[in-house]
Structure 1
Amino acid sequence: MGCGAAERGRVQTRPLLFPFLLSLFCPALSELIRYKIPEEMPTGSVVGNLAKDLGFGVRELPTRRLRISSEKPYFSVSMESGELLVSGRLDREQICGKKPVCALDFEAVAENPLNFYHVSVELEDINDHVPKFAHISSELHISESTKPGARFILGSAHDADIGTNSLQNYKLSPNDHFSLVNKEKSDGGKYPEMVLKTPLDREKQKSYHLTLTALDSGHPPLSSTAQIQVLVTDANDNPPVFSQDVYRVSLPENVHPGTTVLQVTATDQDEGVNSEITFSFSEAAQITRFKLNSNTGAMTTIDTLDFEEAKEYSVVLEARDGGGMVAQCTVEIEVLDENDNVPEVLFQSLPDLIMEDSEPGTHIALLKTRDKDSGHNGEVICKLEGDIPFKIFTSSKNTYKLVTDGALDREQNPEYNVTVTATDLGDPSLSSSSSVTLRIGDVNDNAPIFHQASYFVHVAENNPPGASIAQVSASDPDLGPNGRVSYSILASDLEPRALSSYVSVNQDSGVVFAQRAFDHEQLRSFQLTLQARDQGSPALSANVSMRVLVGDLNDNAPRVLYPALEPDGSALFDMVPRAAEPGYLVTKVVAVDADSGHNAWLSYHVLQASDPGLFSLGLRTGEVRTARALGDKDAARQRLLVAVRDGGQPPLSATATLHLIFADSLQEVLPALSDDPLPSDPQAELQFYLVVALALISVLFLLAVILAVALRLRGSSITKAWDCFQSEVVVPPNYSEGTLPNSYNLCVGHTGKTEFHSLKCSDQLSSGQDILFSDFAGTLFPLSNSNESTSHQQAPPNTDWRFSQAQRPGTSGSQNGDETGTWPNNQFDTEMLQAMILASASEAADGSSTLGGGAGTMGLSARYGPQFTLQHVPDYRQNVYIPGSNATLTNAAGKRDGKAPAGGNGNKKKSGKKEKK
């Protein structure tokens, strides 16, 4: 604001100083805006355009939010025009009393940015108060002997206005005996004195009625009157005389009630009653503060004095003698200031919240100090108490600004109790404290923090889908949305498309759910990266890793790899030399378990054995060894039913059937099999007969249908009808031309009840003939070599050649199990055997089997030629690791027990006996 606009008049600006002097003080007035208005302006009157004087544009007003900071709401600012308006009654006499200059000082506060402007509005006095007399009528006794020139002090009037509007003159109604003289007190106040011009004569006139008029010099002037009754008394020639016309005394304001102020004295030269003097106050208003002894003239205090209320008192005393003559004197009492008022601190423009990201030096509030004392007693110094990130500095006299003096952190201190201590410079000094609570507003300056650096979760496999497997938790010390955390999966080592099908996380609670049942054998563990994000703007986040370990359960039964059934369903057998010594390694049961740990720790147990004492089985290795030498009475064919159990709880198991034949050469296999008849089973025979009867009925029905068709067509014969039952032997493709250097006699064998019956070939079997033995599918494999080149036509097969009566399937427990390979005689053994067969068949079907009936495998199927020898067959028992065991099969068939096998020892052959379907 320019220097020319530093002060305001009633309506427009008017300079108070000369332009050249005002230019010298321009820097000092740059922050002070002054206006001058008359008192008693109506509410809503315009004092001046404050916004314009501050240099604000009209468009800035909504954002700057200009307002008035004052103790009393005398003024307000129009938010639309920026004009300073009168909002309360401005009574100069009530606000400032008799002060020559009445100025209301306050601050104008503007925001965005926060700043304070000092404004002073001077109230000009108007002539709104009439001079008033304390008594509108009074009596004055004057002795007739009073000489002309005698003076009498009349009662004065009081005018609340100042300057020219205050009491200026007294007038007395015209008369011949009295005149009026205007007197002035030391404080500037005026009082009237009546002067006797001519002697009085009681006998001529006893009384006079006079009118005293008090006038001011206002526009228009105001006045009031008081009636004076002058009574002429008998002669009392000498009036009382005070020792002093004016008494002056100083009193500290903190004197106790009853303290003697002074004692006035007066004398009267008369005698008798006319010389008896009594003292009194000429004005009754002084009685409220002081007390006067009418006899002694001692004046004392009635109540405590207050310098801040009245700095001085002017008291008029009267001395009246017994004759009615009166003398007056003035007592001037000066009240001395004492430091008896505690300074005060007032907070103004306090914000509701202080944002924690406020920069140091940000204006917070305006502080004003107030001390009613004067001089040094009224000078105040402020300081902040405690170690807080705020400070205050002086803005102007008795005004301070509170600003930030450091970084704020709501999470550490959500609020500060700011205490300001104000101390004056009196002796002794007085002080007071004022406190205010400043609340810190939240800013999103804290990212979520997980309660753990990383998470390791153990989940047992086969868990129910949708189950909770873990919960992550993060905290954010911020408030509201800034501290509200949501969770999500940010990344994982799973396929992105498969992630949602494995796990999910609740965004509110952080609970991690499994979306599917985990399989330890397919997924051992996986890694997740979880994110916690708050709802602030901008949002902050934190990541944490979670390792999910899928624990193993015993949900996989052991799987027997060896021995296993051929893909065509035939079983294998192992040949043992007849001269095998005790401890000879016959074979080894090889099994695996897809589980881990104890669940895959396998143990091997013998469930059934043809001769329990002939063989021993390694508990952990699965090695089958001879326990003793073969005796003469021991059967050449032995059967072991081995159970493989894992270490889980509860344990799971699988079974394997071993067919062992004691023989020194391959040629001994068939006689050994035929010499070991199978025991008959009445129930099996009954089933066999039922099947045969059903087959015969079916054949008779088919023959009837064929004959009916033949008779109808008349083109067929009985011979041709019977030819349909003839079958040919199909030689496997491995027996191609060039692979069979010698001729073979083909013969299809079948089993009867308990022994092998030779088929009707051209000749009976002899040592020089080659025999092809059939498995389940009818595939032929050689049992012996022949040098003969003749071949025999195979007879049509019998429909029942595949099964013996003991091998036909029946209900569980209907057959008696023995070493001949018949169906187990109890349900447990049946179920274990069925599981073994299904596992072997599944392995053969998908081509994954390496131990069994493929070409060149240990199964020794029919797809090899006569020139095939055992050295062409790899021993799959070498280097086989058994989970859960430290045993590894390393012995080759040709190195068993350090001895070379004789006659094909250790070779695995198909069982000469047909397996049951």
Structure 2
Amino acid sequence: MFGFQRRELGISRLLLWLLLLEFWEVGSGQLHYSVLEEAKHGTFVGRIAQDLGLELEELVPRLFRVASKTHGDLLEVNLQNGILFVNSRIDREELCGQSAKCSIHLEVIVDRPLQVFHVDVEVKDINDNPPVFSLREQRLRIAESKQSDSRFPLEGASDADIEENALLTYRLSQNEYFSLDSTNSKQIKRLSLILKKSLDREKTPELNLLLTATDGGKPELTGIVQLLVQVLDVNDNDPEFDQSEYKVSLMENAAKETLVIKLNATDRDEGVNGEVTYSLMSIKPNGRPLFTLDQNNGEVRVNGTLDYEENKFYKIEVQATDKGTPPMAGHCTVWVEILDTNDNFPEVTVTSLSFPIREDTQPSTVIALISVSDLDSGVNGQVTCSLTPQVPFKLVSTFKNYYSLVLDSALDRETVSAYELVVTARDGGSPSLWATASVSVEVADVNDNAPAFAQREYTVFVKENNPPGYHIFTVSAQDADAQENALVSYSLVERRVGDRALSSYVSVHAESGKVYALQPLDHEELELLQFQVSARDAGVPPLGSNVTLQVFVLDENDNAPALLATRAGSAGGTVSELLPRSVGAGHVVAKVRAVDADSGYNAWLSYELQPAAGGSRTLFRVGLYTGEISTTRVLDESDSPRHRLLVLVRDHGEPALTATATVLVSLVESGQAPKASSRALVGPASPEAALVDVNVYLIIAICVVSSLLVLTLLLYTALRCSAMPIEGACAPGKPTLVCSSAVGSWSHSQQRRHRVCSGEGPPKTDLMAFSPSLPPGLNKEEEGERQESGSSHPGQPRQPNPDWRYSASLRAGMHSSVHLEEAGILRAGPGGPDQQWPTVSSATPEPEAGEVSPPVGAGVNSNSWTFKYGPGNPKQSGPEPKKQTQVSFLLRRKGEASQPRQ
């Protein structure tokens, strides 16, 4: 095994030696070329293929290629013509630096058979680098005491090129102080400046020179460096004052540290040689230390008390010395003249103060006594006093140099609570001297302001059935007074609410003003609670004011529908009716009547027939909003003789509350039917049943009178409309007030002379339209028309939009427990009296769809509906289709069946 491996190793080594020998024989030749650095791309270097003896057509098949270990991309061979050319930028300084010789070694390789050639391309230098100084400027510091011919070495420039291109010569800019000397020592050139003339820093503190280096290339390149020569100072100048003598005038009794004069001595030297310090030589005549001299800035100041009567002149001798070596000095004299002056200030004394003063103090009251004095004599001692302007006080002179501070006008603490008075005393000297004294006058409060509310009246909305102690509102009154005069307490202004005291309903916290409901409020019992809250301060005597609170109790659906009593009914809401078999479709069997004590949607009632045995639901139906039970078809012999009908009465509250009435209908032959109609209101027995008989006669009388009134109005309207153009619409009539209950629920209506049609045939004579409108003065109108078909094709009202609302004040004014017989407006017609109820329109999310609003405040026999069309409804009428129109219609007389529209 080992022998076999050794034989293979020997054979491999033999082949390797043979291959190296072949390479040596083939590649023993070498070519030399030269190229200038920075040559452009494509510059010709040599015909390498021709020089190597290779045919051009062999270059590609034999895979002719050029390789270099480090710079293979600088040179390239064109395989079409065999020319070696410059491929990219060649920088000799980058390749070889300062080396004198620089070349690129290439290996040319061809295959089939394999051959290797060596090529050296010499890169020749061109003058492409200017001389460069290491610094942009050179600074030299030379003392002005240096002698002529002194030498100062300089740093030379360097050039990246070689040979002649790097041979540098220097020259210096023209000047009168320096020359340039350059010597060669061992191939190193040394530069130095030679001082030709002595320097004077005070004359020439600095010199700016230019040193230029030029190489030997063609064209030659240059480099420049700036030489900044700073001349150093020598202490060769004395300090000098602006003047040799100074004269100064100074007032007597000048305060200590008062500036007398500021001396200034200058030295033309610089640095410490030009820094000057000052000192006093002597002070005459007495030599006392009455003055001081600052040694750094030369300020002469007063150090003692000067008196004109003692000395009128002072002589001060001052010396200025620099800090050079040796130091040099200069001198001057200062003459100080003392002037007489008014040097005593007036004095002000305030006595007999009576502070603070009440704001109700009467004018002319003396507040304080003031005295003034001045130690000077003559005019300098004559003093006059004055007071701060625009204050309700004045000064009254009582004797020489004595004054009284008097109240001049009324005070108001709420406007100004304190005064800072300044009394000024001024003498008659020249210049005049004055002194001031401050007097603080505090104004004491008097209870002259009552507590005040931000508003005279507040409106509060509270839902009924609130918990006891519920916080309703917070009243707050502000008192402009101070301390106890501004301490406000609250209380109720007691009154009777019905037969009960106000304090049984609400209470108010005496300190915070929070109003609480002491018991649950009931909208059906009390819709509006109006009372007053009193705010009273703690002053003596106390002052107070009242504010009115209007608390509207908002309705909640807390009352279920109540069935009205019936004459023929029995307890439990059950009634029996006899129905002849000969009646046709649409015959009214009975009418369920119910009321709801709530308001608005909570009192809007609807009726529906519950499923019962025997197919009664297919034989009978109930009006959704009238409660009328009628037949749906003609009776036949196969119908059961007895039917038990369950009518569910539901309000529209959240959640809805219901009541159930039972109607027992017995089918009899025509001869067995009672002569008088037995239809009656269904409901549990109540105390109201005894009054029904009396109400029937009252209703009949009202119907007769109303019929005459309606007939008159119809004739008047027909005459007016016949006198107008056929194509013109009737103009709106005078607005009338339509009342719906005894407590004054109302809606404003405006009669319109529109012909209300059902789409085909003549107008119906038993239909009257009322268009609700806003009260006069409100610029708003709604127009439109819509009809509801009879009971055979009932117009089902849209479910009320959840966003339907109406104002709490209107809700508080509407009474929902009034049924038809207690109603507002009755209309005469063939079928008996009908009632018009006020309506509230509900919002609809579809602007083009119609909407129906129920009567407000009642759920029984509500024959008035409001239909509202959007601007895109084709049923809209009127000249302005963009406006919404709202029209209220009275339905047909009771019991009359209408044909469905085709």
Does the alignment reach a TM-score above 0.5? no
- With the shorter chain as reference, the TM-score category is 0.3 to 0.5
TM-score using structure 1 length: 0.39
